[in-house]
Structures are given as structure tokens and as C-alpha cells.
Amino acid sequence: MSATITVHLKVWRQAGPRAPGRLVDYRAEQISQDMSFLEMLDVVNDGLIRQGDEPIAFDSDCREGICGSCGVMVNGVAHGHEPGGTVCQLHMRRFSDGETITIEPWRARSFPIVKDLVVDRSALDRVIAAGGYVSVNTGSAPEANAIPIARDLAEQAMDSAQCIGCGACVAACKNASAALFTSAKVTHLALLPQGQVERSRRVVRMVEEMDAEGFGMCSNEGECEAVCPKGISIANIAKMNREFFRASVLKPG
């Protein structure tokens, strides 16, 4: 049988977007150290529901580090202190018996709080949408080797494509910049032959949308890379800046 611990929670509770919020204390008892962090919150919510209280609102979907919906600040760190993972991949064995854990939502002007730990991250969706479509030839399926792509380019593009849109990079940045997220999307397509047709238009529109959504400027702090659960490198930001320069100065249109 797995060991159990008791943890003291300080959870941000906020009834709605305009309601005042505050940290509320909870005691989570007999928590198996094999549980994930979200399962621990499920147990707390079961108790709250049984006693007629409002459960803590938090987002989750895949619970395996794929969808990007579960992000919260755990003890002041986006996704918690375990590097390379999302909150749903964080386990209670990382915490000690009697520990106090503070849980807060992402804090960024572009991520308004919906309720408790849930924030509206649709600004990231609008940045992606601003990038527009990718032209493809429709018709019969192309032969798999018809478009040769160098191995290193394919690897770099796939590394960038790993971004799950969780928003931790924004939450960790003192400027609430979405540069890491946007640059991952820009880089992914800019490296591949399939992304060349709209390459210039895409980067300009995505950067403009990023600014319009109120995200801050990147000042090379590196906090985004440190908390990114998918290991997206800030080299993507340098690539995005080069792409933007190429699109707006060298090859506009």
C-alpha cells in the first residue's frame, strides 16, 4: 500500500471574472503519494461537494501532458517544480507530509480569470488563427517521399511543433510575453517546405495579433524556457525575430 500524506492547500478562489479573489485554506488528508496533483484536487473537491460547498474550478482534459489545459501556478512556479511536465504529470510523491502548497491561476492581462484556477487562454487560439491557412495541393495522397526534407530540419520543426499551448511561458514571464508560444508556431511551419507559401504573411500576422492581444514584449529573461513542459527553446524566439525581419524588410508581401 502506498504512503499517504496530509498537505495544507492555499487555493485561489474567485467566483467570477469580476469578483474579488482570495487564497482559501484547505486540508487534504490521507493523500496517496501515487496520486497525481489533479487527483489530489479531485479528492478535495469530493469532500467539498459532500459538505455542500462549491468545488474548486480547474481545467483539465487529457491528464497526460498533451492538451495544455491544466496549467496553474504551484508554489509560484508554472506547472510546479518538477521540470519537463505539466500539472497533470506532477505527482504527490514530490511533496512532503505537512507541506503547504499554494495554488494560483496563471496571472496575465491577456488571460482573464474565468473562475478560481480557470483562465481564458483563447488569446493564444487567436494568435494561431491569425496565422491563417497552409496551402496544400488537394487530390490523391502524395507519395511519401515526394517532398524531401533534411533530417535536421524535420527534427527542428518537430521540436517546435511540440508546443501544447498551455500558456506557462506567458505566466512565468515578468512581461507576460507570448513570444515563446508564437515563435514555436512560426518556426514549426517556416522550416518546412509546406509552410513556405504563406511564410511571410503568417509571421507578420501572428506577431501583430500577439501584440494586439496585450501580451508583453520579450526581454530575454529565459523564464519561459525554464517552465515550458515541452522543452521549447528560446532559440525559436530568435528565429521568429529573423522571420519577422525577413518578412517585413527583405521579402514583404
Only segment of 141-149, 161-169, 190-198, 215-223 that touches ligand SF4 (CB under 6 A): 161-169
Which of ligand FES, ligand SF4, none does residue 69 bind (CB under 5 to 8 Å by kind)?
Answer: ligand FES
- Contact at 8 Å (CB) between 127 and 205? no
169 near ligand SF4 (CB under 6 A): yes
Nearest distance from C-beta of residue 44 to ligand FES, angstroms: 17
User: Which residue's entry shows cell 504573411?
Assistant: 201
Radius of gyration of the chain (CA): 21
Which of ligand SF4, ligand FES, none does residue 80 bind (CB under 5 to 8 Å by kind)?
Answer: none
Q: How far apart are CA 92 and CA 54, in angstroms?
A: 23
Among 56, 180, 189, 218, binds ligand SF4 (CB under 6 A): 180
Reading phi first (left if > 0) and then psi (alpha if -120 to 50, else beta), residue 130 is in alpha
36 near ligand FES (CB under 6 A): no
Q: How far apart are CA 94 and CA 80, in angstroms?
A: 10
Q: How far apart are CA 12 and CA 65, in angstroms?
A: 23
* Chain residues in the site for ligand SF4 (CB under 6 A): 68, 163-169, 180-181, 184, 228-230, 232
* Chain residues in the site for ligand FES (CB under 6 A): 60-63, 65-70, 86, 88
